[in-house]
Structure 1
Amino acid sequence: MTGLFAVMGWKGDIMETFNYLEIKPSQRFDDLDPNQDGNKNTKFADLIIDGKSIYQILKKHDMVPSLGWGSAENQREMIDYFLLIDHHEYMYNRYPVLVCPMCGDEECGFISVQIEREGDIVIWENFKKENDSNPINLGPFYFEINNYERAIRKTFGTVGFE
């Protein structure tokens, strides 16, 4: 698909553009944050959509983005999920966008997003806090495939490997 595509923006207004995805190395706590005492200061690849951090928007859930940290094998698996190369073993077209900051294990709870591709457009919608299946009012987001693939691939090794 070429040209502009009418999509909904952050506040529900109609825009004639795609959302823009960027990746930025980030961490759970700032250096002076008193909450870091006794907690794991997980470093990760933050997902920045149109200049807004998904981590910061959903910070109240005390989870971190699933990309850019953990073992090399886990990072490759997450990238394959987000690029729709492989389906999650039990969530079909939903993927863990934020996970437990201590271990990344989905058993601890996570926030998922439905990801679909239509031609050259990747759509993120229907964010949900799993374990209690509560919907989260965020999105939908429409990404142009080249921007999307470049950003997702860039997450590999963002903060190293465990």
Structure 2
Amino acid sequence: MSADYATFGLAPAMRAGGVLVNGDYQVHRDFMDFVVDGRPLLHQLSGLDAVSPLAADVPPAIFTAQVRGLLLEAQAPLPEGRYVIYGCPECESMECGAVTAVIERAGDDFVWRDFAWQTTETADLELNGYHGIGPFRFRGREYRAALEQLLAAGEEEPPPRRRVLLIGARVDVLAKLAAALRTINIGADITADAADVPPDELRAYGAVAFGRAVDERVRAGIRAAFERAGADVAYVDGLAPIVPLLVAQIEAALDRSPTEQRRLTRLVAVEGEAGVEVTSTCRVQLIAYRLDRLSRTHAHEVFDDVLEPGKHRIALDGRATKGRSYVVARTTGAVLVAPMIR
């Protein structure tokens, strides 16, 4: 094993939820990702849909136990000193698969080695090992400081805000949107005015979504209420009364991960073509949404493939993007939305 050191850190990340084209739901998860040598470790696992054990929505006792395990203050949950590094975002079952690694001490240092994909209690390194990842040797002081800071933060700070305030004229659309958000693990409330809402309640929101019919006077009043409460929220201007599209807009607004550590960084849609930029090899899906003259929603998956790092121009099916249409780009942990510009 190389004596070279890797840097270790943690950064907020999310697994973006959403309403998929086939009607299925994908749950939203907030978690802390491992940052190795300045780059999220998850990005080295191309196309893997997973979260770390340091998820914001697990009970505090379980979260603490996960941190203690990574510090080797608790027995390894799997044979041969293996720990789960990333697992299924929908459940905790090993049957869905998990990325595991041996974590051990080397003097004062910590070493992560022998990464593997597991669906049973034991790992088959020859068949399912990640041979191009690791081993990583971390300086003990840096490693412990990052993880122990999580324990201290858990005692002092409230959980991340995953509630959204919905404001609009079309009650039917707002009700469907709120139901969809709650299904994917995002709290949602509907209101017409936030003037009398206590500041503590306003600070519990991470985003405010406005319908297209909300006039500027109402928008200004809502913003003023949040400013008085000292709440740092993202504002979303709904593009169209299409629930999956609005969910994607809200997911994009809730992404508070560092920009330089995002996998999907750019989406534009012009004249039937999409411009996409990714920072690491990953699977990207593009979905086009539009309303016809009878206000019926049409959704089409127009692209689904693995992209290499860099900028890409992707031609889109003209039938899927005719009229007033919108494009959603989705990859592991990120989603972006853009209107089609003619």
Using a 3 Å threshold, how does the CA distance of structure 1 residues 27 and 144 change in structure 2: closer, same or farther?
same
Moved more, 119-128 or 97-106: 97-106
Q: 2:28 matched to which residue of 1?
A: 41
The residue number in structure 2 matching 1:15 is: none
Task: Give the percent of matched residue pairs that are identical in Structure 1 and Structure 2.
Answer: 25
> Aligned with 1:25: secondary structure?
strand
Identify unmatched segments of 5+ residues in structure 2: 20-24, 161-184, 186-342
Q: Show the counterpart of 2:301.
A: none
TM-superposed deviation, 1:66: 1.2
SS of 1:64 mapped into structure 2:
coil
Question: What letter corresponds to residue 145 of structure 2 in structure 1?
Answer: R
Instruction: Name 1:11's counterpart in structure 2.
Output: none
TM-score (norm 2): 0.38
- Whether the 8 Å contact between 2:3 and 2:137 is mirrored in structure 1 is no
Matching of residue 135 in structure 1 with residue 135 in structure 2: no
Rg comparison, structure with higher value: 2
CA distance in 1, matches of 2:11, 2:146: 10
Q: How big is the shift at 1:92? A: 4.1
Gaps of 5+ in 1: 8-17, 30-34
| Residue 104 of structure 1: how far off its partner (Å) | 3.4
Q: Which residue of 2 aligns with 1:146?
A: 141
1:135 aligned partner, one-letter code: G
- Say yes or no: does 1:67 pair with 2:67: no
Following the alignment from structure 1 to structure 2, what is the Cα–Cα distance between the partners of residues 89 and 55? 21
Q: Secondary structure at the match of 1:111?
A: strand
Kept in 2: contact 1:126–1:135 (CA 8 A)? yes
Aligned partner of 2:3: which letter? A
**How far apart, in 2, do the equivalents of 1:75 and 1:131 lie?**
22
The 1:48–1:72 alpha-carbon spacing in structure 2 relative to 1, beyond 3 Å, is same
Contact 1:23–1:155 (Cα < 8 Å) also in 2: no
Residues 1:39 and 1:72: Cα distance change in structure 2 (over 3 Å): same
**Higher deviation after alignment, 90-99 or 149-158:** 149-158
- Cα–Cα, structure 1 residues 159 and 19, in superposed 2: closer, same or farther, change >3 Å? farther
Question: Alpha carbons of 1:22 and 1:131: their partners in 2 closer, same or farther (altered >3 Å)?
Answer: same
Q: 1:107, CA displacement in angstroms? A: 4.1
The alpha-carbon distance between structure 1 residues 89 and 96, as it changes in their structure 2 partners (threshold 3 A), is closer
- Work out the CA distance in 2 between the residues paired with 1:107 and 1:114: 19
TM-score (norm 1): 0.77
Instruction: From the two aligned structures, give the one with the greater helix fraction.
Output: 2
Matched, 1:27 2:9: no
1:50 partner amino acid: D
Q: Deviations over 1:79-121 (max 9, x none)?
A: 1111111112443411000011123343432110111101111
Match of 1:78 in 2: 66
* Partners of 1:43 and 1:159 within 8 A in 2: no
* RMSD of aligned alpha carbons: 2.5
Task: For 1:86 and 1:42, locate their aligned partners in 2 and report how far apart those are by CA, in whole Å.
Answer: 25
Give, as a single letter, the amino acid of the residue that structure 2 aligns with 1:48. V
| Structure possessing the higher relative contact order (Cα contacts under 8 Å, 6 or more residues apart) | 1
